[in-house]
Amino acid sequence: MSSRTLTGRNTITAQPLCVTVEDGRIRAIDPGPEDEARWLAPGLIDLQVNGYGGCDLNADAIDPDVVLALARQMLSTGVTTFIPTLISAPEESIVRALRAIASARQASAQVAYAIPFVHVEGPHISPEDGARGAHPRAWIRPPSLDEFARWQAASGDLVGTVTISPHWEDAAEYIAALAGKGVRVAIGHTHAAPHQIHAAAAAGASLSTHLGNGIALMLPRHPNPIWAQLADERLTATFIADGHHLPADTLKAMLRAKGIERSILISDAVALAGMSPGIYDTPVGGRVELNANGRASVAGTDILAGAVRPLKDGVAWATVSGVCGLGDAIRMATEIPGRQAGRRGLLRLGEKADLLRFALDPQNQSLQIETVLVDGVEVQ
């Protein structure tokens, strides 16, 4: 029997804890030392990762080694569970990436644990400028159950989330079919009317992808797709908390409208995350300018091309900027997304010991990671 302890303050109550881990599970939670200065939380869960540190899931040359390297990069940022995300592309490119991810999971039990499923963000999104964001217009197409079946055949039923714009004529039927198979359907990159958004939720859509982004630059005051998704209680919304995609006041108001229990923080990290500032050619956005302030945009425009800050920085930014308290920020990056990933992200007796010990660094708006446990084993 393997056993170890880990101490840190509870991010919700601030009480010091001493957690005993045995055989990969939390076996005891006792009071910790009163002078404890570090925080203790479940490992972070990121539902939207396109890449990181040069590892690009949407590149033409993706292979299992890229996925293995990406999983290691995620662990270094405190993310113990993540959902690889593929953007709009030719079908053969999506299939190739799905096969590479499936092969990586087969080759490594650690990767299989870290990646419970894949998110395909598109290609059934809005073709309109603004709403489609950095997705290539050439590869946007109507929803097809036949294409979805080919994705699943290639990956062994690994696609667990699909983002769609419900403006398409057969969107409700497509959503109902996927939801009936247990696949999570998200609304995103959309110019859909409110009635189409509510019809999508009635058909089984349960998520909003990075709400407030992937939307037209100019909207009517009301009605518009943001209000409709905030108001629909059937939808849990993901938000990019990096200070660029949503201003602090905007995110704070959105969280109040949606409620913490239906809100999730994501990174939407692309391969440029962790890279030096400069001009890059990438599958997400084409020619992209990465600024020193952490903003990645399509060169020569204000259109964002994904995010470059890891989820741990999003948690810290939301806390330091006054969007919410540390406890709520951690919950939106652990427990609440964990409901979408097989009931993970819980610091409770009997749960899997995916744990994170860290310090909050307000000056750099980041979490300084000290210890990461995955299934009870410390990650070096």
- Cα–Cα distance for residue pair 75/109, rounded to 1 Å: 14
pLDDT > 70? residue 1? no
Helix (H, G, I), strand (E, B) or coil at 249: helix
Which H or E run contains 186? strand 184-187
- For the cut 80, the answer to whether the pLDDT of residue 227 exceeds it is yes
Question: Average pLDDT for residues 34-49, to the nearest whole number?
Answer: 98
State which H helix or E strand residue 6 sits in. strand 3-10
> Architecture of domain 42-345 in CATH?
Alpha-Beta Barrel (3.20)
**How many other CB atoms are there within 10 angstroms of residue 193's CB atom?**
15
100-127 burial, b for 16+ CB within 10 Å, e for fewer? bbbbbbeebebbebbbbbbbbbbbbbbb
For the segment 134-181, what is each residue's pLDDT rounded down to a tens digit? 899 999 999 999 999 999 999 999 999 999 999 999 999 999 999 999
DSSP state of 352: B
Entry pTM: 0.97
pLDDT at 334: 98
Q: Where do the structural domains in the chain lie, given as residue ranges?
A: 42-345
Buried b (16+ CB within 10 A) or exposed e, 259-288: ebebbbbbbbbbbbbbeeeeebebbbbeeb
